Amino acid sequence: MDGIGFSEAEKRRLLGQADDGGGGSSGRTRNARADVARRKRQQQQLRQQGSHDPQRQRQRQQQRLGRPPSSTTAPAATTATVEAPTQRDAGARCHGTEAEAGRAKASECPVSEHGTKAALEATSSDRTSQDATQTSSSQAPVTTNDQVKGVQQTQQQQTQQQQQQQQRSSEEPKMELRDSEEALVLTIQAVEQRKREMEEANKRRQMELVKAIQSRKMKAMTEAAKLNQVQAELATLERSLSTDIALLRQRIEAACRDFNMAKGRFEAAEKEYVAAKLDYHKKQELKDQLTEHLFIIIQKTEERKAAKLEELMRKIGAEDGDGAALEGAQQQQRGAAEVIAAQQQQQQQQQQQQQPQQQQQQQQQQPQQQQQQQQQQQQQQQQQQQQQQQQEGDGQ
């Protein structure tokens, strides 16, 4: 017996039960209904299993919609009358089996247009079978052999149609089961493959993340080491710079003190030098004036002497003595003039000697002045450097 649908033995048994007559028809119908219910439960389970594959469901629906609907026509036994009770029972059994087959087909088909058509056909066949039993029970006219043959032919046609329908219904669940099993196997394999792929991808990503984290950590460590090294170098430079600056400031302060002291001494010496130079020039001018005045006085006295001598010589009137006196007076005048000229020459020589000394003094003063200017410039530069260093120290 197959897992789905009716087997050939069951089909023969059901057909034999439909052909046979007698009082055991109710038990056989109950057995048939139980088989149909069991098949129905199996088909529902298969549908639930195959409902996970939407593509397979769409294919099945298309196949079912494309399948030609089963044409169940009302049997001729509904209009014909059966004479014997055995013939009435046979007709009822035929109608019952047809109705059960329609119900089975309706249960096999899923909820679709074809399933609703099969269910409507099954209900119509039930109604026609009930009408046939009622008419057969109410009317009991005598039938002929032709009518019996027609009934048998219709029964044979119905049995053939039922067999075809049962074959189709048994083949369809088998195909559906195979398709569902294949689909399940394929889906399971696909899921497992997808799972493996996802696991491999996750492993790769985890490895990449671990590598990236390690590389980032190494980079961070190297950068931190570089930063620490740079900070240490900067600290050493700052310490050396601070020590150099402190030493330079101390030296600059000492140099400034020495410079101020030397400047005070120089200013005092310069003032003393200027005062001494002024005093020297004043005294030199006074000496020159006095010497000139002396020369003038001597010259005037000599002139007065010469004039007096001339007057005396005139008074005495001695002619011989006049020439000698005049010569003596002239000699005296000449001597006085020579003395005056010698004194003037000495003064000129002294002035000439003083001029190189003055020039030397001026030349000596010029480097001193230049040195003073240079010192002033150096002081200004040092002051500027100190200001800059103070500004830098304040900024740091």
State the residue for tokens 């003094």.
Answer: 361
The C-alpha atoms of residue 94 and residue 66 are separated, in whole angstroms, by: 29
* Residue 220 in this model has a pLDDT that exceeds 90: yes
* Residue 225 in this model has a pLDDT that exceeds 90: yes
**pLDDT confidence of residue 52:** 54
pLDDT digits (tens, 9 = 90+) for 323-340: 565 666 667 667 767 777
* Residue 349 in this model has a pLDDT that exceeds 90: no
pLDDT digits (tens, 9 = 90+) for 291-302: 888 888 988 888
* Residue 377 in this model has a pLDDT that exceeds 60: yes
* Residue 181 in this model has a pLDDT that exceeds 50: yes
**pLDDT confidence of residue 29:** 63
* Residue 224 in this model has a pLDDT that exceeds 90: yes
The C-alpha atoms of residue 363 and residue 17 are separated, in whole angstroms, by: 161
User: What tokens were used for 241?
Assistant: 């710079």
Under 8 Å between Cβ of 112 and 61: yes
- Residue 172, in any domain of the structure: yes
Please list, in sequence order, all residues whose beta carbon lies within 8 angstroms of the beta carbon of residue 236, skipping any fewer than 6 positions away: none
**pLDDT confidence of residue 152:** 75
| Nearest in space to 176 (alpha carbons), one of 122, 251, 233, 108 | 108
* Residue 19 in this model has a pLDDT that exceeds 60: no
pLDDT band at residue 63 using 50, 70 and 90 as cut-offs = low
Alpha helices in the chain, H assignment, sequence order: 8-19, 25-50, 54-66, 85-108, 113-138, 145-316, 319-395
**pLDDT confidence of residue 108:** 45
The C-alpha atoms of residue 241 and residue 393 are separated, in whole angstroms, by: 11
Rounded to 5°, the CA angle 245-248-250 comes to: 110
User: What tokens were used for 68?
Assistant: 């030609």
Under 8 Å between Cβ of 106 and 122: yes
Under 8 Å between Cβ of 85 and 98: no
Under 8 Å between Cβ of 75 and 160: no
The C-alpha atoms of residue 239 and residue 304 are separated, in whole angstroms, by: 95
* Residue 353 in this model has a pLDDT that exceeds 60: yes
**pLDDT confidence of residue 368:** 72
Rounded to 5°, the CA angle 382-386-389 comes to: 135
In total, the chain counts a number of residues equal to 396
Mean pLDDT within 341-363? 73
Sign of the C-alpha dihedral computed for residues 192, 195, 199 and 201 taken in this order: positive
Mean pLDDT within 35-57? 70
- Residue 243, in any domain of the structure: no
- Residue 167, in any domain of the structure: yes
Mean pLDDT within 201-210? 92
* Residue 209 in this model has a pLDDT that exceeds 80: yes
| Nearest in space to 104 (alpha carbons), one of 33, 48, 45 | 33
- Residue 110, in any domain of the structure: yes
| CB-count exposure of residue 95 (10 Å: 0-12, 13-18, 19+) | buried
User: What tokens were used for 248?
Assistant: 């330079």
Number of separate domains in the chain: 1
Total Cβ atoms within 10 A of residue 91: 25
The mean pLDDT value of the chain amounts to: 70
**pLDDT confidence of residue 40:** 78
Which region among 108-117, 119-128, 206-215, 374-383 has the lowest average model confidence (pLDDT)? 108-117
3-state secondary structure at position 24: coil
Mean pLDDT within 144-157? 74
pLDDT band at residue 279 using 50, 70 and 90 as cut-offs = very high
| CB-count exposure of residue 168 (10 Å: 0-12, 13-18, 19+) | middle
Write out the residue range of the structural domain in which residue 113 sits.
8-194
**pLDDT confidence of residue 142:** 40
**pLDDT confidence of residue 144:** 61
pLDDT digits (tens, 9 = 90+) for 87-125: 444 444 444 444 444 454 444 443 334 444 444 454 555
- Residue 170, in any domain of the structure: yes
**pLDDT confidence of residue 205:** 92
265 vs 16, higher pLDDT: 265
* Residue 141 in this model has a pLDDT that exceeds 60: no
- Residue 341, in any domain of the structure: no
**pLDDT confidence of residue 223:** 93
**Long-range contacts for 83-87 (Cβ within 8 Å, ≥24 apart)?**
83/140, 83/141, 83/142, 83/143, 86/21, 86/22, 87/21, 87/143, 87/148, 87/151
375 vs 261, higher pLDDT: 261
| Nearest in space to 166 (alpha carbons), one of 48, 36, 50 | 36
- Residue 276, in any domain of the structure: no
The C-alpha atoms of residue 172 and residue 72 are separated, in whole angstroms, by: 19
- Residue 302, in any domain of the structure: no
Q: How far is CA 66 from CA 53, 73, 192, in A?
A: 20, 21, 35
**pLDDT confidence of residue 386:** 75
First-residue to last-residue Cα distance in the chain: 102
User: What tokens were used for 207?
Assistant: 């490895």
Query: Phi and psi at residue 379, in whole multiples of 5°?
Result: -60, -45
